[in-house]
Structure 1
Amino acid sequence: MKNFLNLLAIVVFGVSAQAQSGAKIEFKDKDNTIDYGTVTKSDSGVRTFVFTNTGDAPLIITNVQSTCGCTVPTKPTEPIMPGKTGKIDVKYNMSPGPIRKTITVESNAVNYEGGKVPIKIKGTVVVPEEFNVLEKKKSMMNN
């Protein structure tokens, strides 16, 4: 009988957790990640995370912060109503090398623990190969 009551309590708790009401945030990008791919320094470094409030209450983004100063996110200033979309712009400083940064979105979303959602950017910034016209002419003259 004791096991049955414990099982019943677990089922009731699980069902009530599924039926949470409130704001919910769902990002468009797979795994909440934007892949820059291989880009050059001349790229603006700006990418946009698009999300939807799939809940039944206004979604309020209270803070968006990066793990370093090389990535600058901007958050929406107004609440996102249920069923509406919003965006978070992220600007990376495009220093050469791999990009692996995490940005933490803090909100009133009930579908993430504490309303905190990690979003990520990844990719590689390369320095474009310089073309020297004089060397090209010199090599052509030696042939």
Structure 2
Amino acid sequence: MKKAFVLALSLACAGFAAQAQTAAVKPANAQVKPAGPQIQFDEMKYDFGTAKQGEVVKHVFKFKNVGTQPLVISNIGVSCGCTTPEWTKEPVMPGKTGSITANFNTAGKMGMQNKVLTVESNSAAGNAMVSVVGEVKENAAPTVSAEKTESAAAGEKTKMKMDDSKMKAKKKS
């Protein structure tokens, strides 16, 4: 009687163990959708290369809601007042896409730039960050070439004045 009981108990334990192992095995290619809304960007950083000082660099970051509930962007914080964002205001349904447009005004900026946009939303992963990077170079100054003329050699003075678009010369005798 004891042998039969031990045998039945052993078979029952083996059956439960086998069932637990097969339930835990998942296919390697199975994708699990995150619970709640989830934002996924096509790109996290945009490198604009080189821009002239005073230009406005504009870039559109596209994203997809890969979660299971509507995604709502509540705000986008910027690292500098020179960057203004525009974004999809309505809820982005699961599987659908939205966009964020970053407008970076290079006026008053020089050298390497890294402007970060912090995307505040109801995403299960929390806030996300995207950035616009590149180098701002000064506008090329107009070149001034002076040639020695007979009047300059004779002691006349020439006064040159430059504005943004033209150069004026006045001659004094």
Superposed pair shares fold, TM > 0.5: yes
Normalized against structure 2, the TM-score is what? 0.59
Matched-pair contact (CA < 8 Å) for 2:33–2:67: no
| Cα deviations by residue, 1:19-49 (Å, 9 ceiling, x for unpaired) | 64111111111xx111111111353221111
| Cα deviations by residue, 1:48-79 (Å, 9 ceiling, x for unpaired) | 11111111211100110112212111222111
1:50 and 2:62 correspond: yes
- Structure with more of its chain in helix, by fraction: 1
State the match for 1:23 in structure 2.
Answer: 37
Matched-pair contact (CA < 8 Å) for 2:78–2:116: yes
- Amino-acid identity (%): 34
The unaligned stretches of length 5 or more in structure 1 are 1-11, 13-17, 139-143
**RMSD between aligned alpha carbons?**
2.2
Structure 1: distance between partners of 2:33 and 2:94: 16
* Alignment length (residue pairs): 116
1:98 equivalent among 112, 117, 127? 112
Structure 2: distance between partners of 1:36 and 1:61: 25
Normalized against structure 1, the TM-score is what? 0.71
CA pair 21-116 structure 1, distance change in 2 beyond 3 A:
same
SS of equivalent residue, structure 2 residue 56? coil
Deviation at 1:97, TM superposition (A): 2.1
Deviation at 1:102, TM superposition (A): 1.4
Q: Could you say which structure has the greater relative contact order, defined with CA pairs below 8 angstroms and 6 or more residues apart? A: 1
